């Protein structure tokens, strides 16, 4: 991040004397008129207003040669107006005009598409070979567990090595591993091992992408860029799951998995040729700290800074208000609906997040967004309280969409977290919080599934709503005190 178009503009410098070859000049005139003109030019006072409209204002009266002193009270000197602040409403348009961000965005979309297709295709592949729901469930779980493990261990690679290189290498490794999964005759244990290993590079990829983006676009442009990435992810969640099933039905799971490797190769090529090289955050190889030291220091940084700690905990609240996502099928069964209803329940949150994220980052000014995070975090869990009233299916979907709209505070929290972290530690810090988010979501869904065995979904989800509101309120109170310092850090911190 540091695109010449966005972060490294040089000021326009007027041509220096002697810098260009002078054009032939006429011989100087002589005589009294010429001498008077020369004196006026030396004094910087033109004899008449600028007829060409060059934009240079004439000198104030009384400053030319031979002019009588002017009354200062009658003609006060003009005051220079301060330069207008950048218009945050144009941040989306400005960000989309940055070629390096365009490359990151397209590469992220390709990798995300590959992830969805991989999840759908591999799960179907395993189920076709085993006819076991348990085996298919283990396969799906293997797409989450590696991120939890690798978050604290591999995110630091994005700070130790050039971030463009980290992204490209991760994509190439994933392409090779994913293509191997689709080889016909691959045993189940082989599929699981390859799947587990293919997910591991996602962690340094995401950490390097987030840190690199903060070098390409700065300040509120980063917030807009992060929102665009997350909006793309939410839309991709809705489209990718349906498209993944269609592709598998069209060409079969083995071919779908093997061709899926091409999406990661395309992503690597786009980053390699669309993003310029930048040195590593720890540039000196001889003084470069070990991965263990980076992990240790990064953990202390995240949990020792009240701003970063609170922003990270705001992100982890998703483990509570996303519980209905994991209970979609039991909820649909209780209301007498089928798989289609479960799909709407799972999609409700994403639909709301798309709308809320756009409104929040496009129509609300940056400082207000930051201060709204506390109330919005409370509002993200509040709709779950309505489950106590046994709402009909359509109202459940509406409530989840409202929850998703409020949960779009995550768009701002994500960007604020990255911008508040020193540049040399952004990769690891992002990876730690992302790994924690995966963990709390998995734990939340597992806990909700366990509780549904002894209580109805209405009781479990209502309880989740109570817990979410209380936890969010506990974070909103300290955030109200430190929000301004986080805003100042985002605006003045090194980017």
* DSSP per-residue string spanning 220-285: HHHHHHHHHHHHHHHHHHHHHHHHHHHHHHHH-HHHHHHHHHHHHHHHHHHHHHHS-----SS--T
Question: What is the distance between the alpha carbons of residues 426 and 430, in angstroms, rounded to a whole number?
Answer: 6
Would you mind telling me the total number of residues written for the chain in this entry?
A: 495
Average pLDDT, integer, range 420-449: 83
d(CA 137, CA 445): 14
Cα maximum dimension of the chain: 108
Q: Which sequence spans correspond to the domains of the chain? A: 99-273, 301-495
Q: State percent of the chain over pLDDT 90.
A: 28
Say if residues 472 and 380 touch (Cβ distance below 8 Å): yes
Task: Tell me the pLDDT tens digit for each residue of 71-125.
Answer: 444 444 444 444 444 555 667 788 888 999 999 999 888 888 888 788 888 888 8
| The pLDDT of residue 18 is above 60 | no
Distances (CA, A) of 129 to 98, 149, 210, 337, 443: 46, 28, 38, 29, 29
The CATH classification number of 301-495 equals: 1.20.1250.20
State the fold for domain 99-273. Answer: Growth Hormone; Chain: A; (1.20.1250)
Q: How far is CA 53 from CA 49, 58, 105, 182, 274, in A?
A: 9, 11, 44, 70, 42
The whole-number pLDDT of residue 386 equals: 96
Question: Rounded to an integer, what distance in angstroms lies between the CA atom of residue 426 and that of residue 263?
Answer: 26
The Cα 185–Cα 330 span in angstroms is: 35
> Per-residue pLDDT averaged across 371-376, rounded?
94
pLDDT band at 218 (very low <50, low <70, confident <90, very high): confident
**Dihedral, CA atoms, 66, 72, 78, 79, nearest 10 degrees?**
140
Query: Is the pLDDT confidence value at 5 over 70?
Result: no
Cα of 18 vs its chain's centroid, Å: 48
pLDDT tier at 449 (50, 70, 90 boundaries)?
A: confident
Comparing 23-37, 105-119, 443-457, which segment has the lowest mean pLDDT? 23-37
The HSE-up count of residue 427 (CA atoms within 13 Å, CB side) is 30
The yes-or-no answer to whether 99-273 and 301-495 have a common fold is yes
Question: Mean pLDDT score of the chain, rounded to an integer?
Answer: 78
What are the pLDDT digits (tens) for 239-264?
A: 766 677 788 888 888 888 888 889 99
Burial class (CB in 10 A: 0-12, 13-18, 19+), 282: middle
Confidence of residue 289 (pLDDT cuts 50, 70, 90): low
Q: Residues 305-326: what's their mean pLDDT?
A: 91
């Amino acid at each position: 991040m540091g695109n010449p178009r966005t972060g490294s503009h040089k000021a326009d410098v007027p041509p220096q004397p002697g810098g260009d070859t002078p054009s032939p000049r006429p011989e100087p005139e002589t005589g009294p008129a010429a001498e008077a003109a020369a004196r006026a030019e030396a004094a910087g006072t033109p004899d008449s207003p600028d007829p060409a409209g060059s934009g240079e204002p004439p000198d104030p009266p009384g400053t030319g040669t031979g002019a009588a002193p002017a009354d200062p009270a009658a003609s006060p000197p003009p005051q220079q107006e301060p330069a207008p602040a950048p218009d945050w409403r144009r941040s989306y348009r400005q960000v989309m005009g940055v070629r390096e961000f365009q490359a990151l965005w397209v590469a992220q979309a390709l990798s995300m598409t590959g992830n969805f297709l991989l999840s759908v295709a591999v799960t179907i592949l395993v189920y076709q070979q085993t006819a076991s729901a348990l085996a298919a469930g283990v396969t799906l779980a293997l797409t989450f567990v590696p991120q939890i493990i690798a978050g604290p261990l591999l995110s630091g690679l994005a700070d130790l090595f050039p971030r463009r290189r980290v992204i490209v290498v991760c994509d190439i490794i994933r392409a090779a591993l994913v293509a191997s999964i689709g080889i016909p005759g691959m045993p189940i244990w082989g599929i699981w091992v390859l799947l587990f290993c293919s997910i591991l590079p996602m962690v340094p990829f995401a950490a390097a992408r987030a840190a690199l983006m903060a070098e390409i676009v700065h300040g509120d442009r980063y917030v807009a860029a992060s929102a665009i990435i997350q909006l793309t992810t939410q839309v991709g969640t809705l489209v990718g799951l349906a498209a993944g099933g269609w592709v598998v039905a069209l060409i079969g799971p083995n071919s779908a998995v093997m061709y899926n490797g091409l999406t990661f190769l395309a992503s690597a090529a786009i980053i390699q040729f669309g993003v310029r090289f930048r040195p590593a955050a720890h540039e000196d190889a001889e003084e470069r700290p070990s991965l263990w030291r980076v992990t240790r220091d990064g953990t202390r940084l995240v949990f020792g800074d009240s701003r970063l700690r609170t922003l990270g905990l705001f992100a982890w609240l998703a483990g509570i208000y996303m519980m209905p996502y994991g209970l979609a099928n039991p909820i649909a069964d209780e209301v007498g609906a089928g798989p289609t209803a479960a799909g709407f329940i799972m999609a409700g949150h994403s639909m709301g997040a798309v709308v809320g994220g756009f409104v929040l980052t496009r129509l609300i000014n940056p400082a207000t967004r930051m201060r709204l995070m506390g109330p919005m975090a409370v509002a993200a869990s509040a709709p779950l309280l309505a489950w106590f009233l046994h709402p009909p299916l359509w109202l459940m979907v509406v409530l989840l969409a409202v929850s998703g709209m409020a949960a779009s505070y995550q768009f701002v929290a994500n960007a604020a977290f990255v911008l508040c972290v020193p540049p040399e530690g952004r990769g690891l810090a992002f990876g730690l919080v992302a790994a924690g988010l995966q963990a709390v979501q998995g734990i939340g869904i597992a806990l909700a599934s366990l509780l549904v065995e002894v209580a109805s979904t209405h009781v479990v989800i209502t309880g989740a709503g109570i817990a979410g509101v209380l936890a969010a309120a506990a974070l909103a109170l300290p955030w109200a005190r430190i929000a301004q310092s986080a805003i100042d850090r985002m605006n003045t911190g090194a980017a």
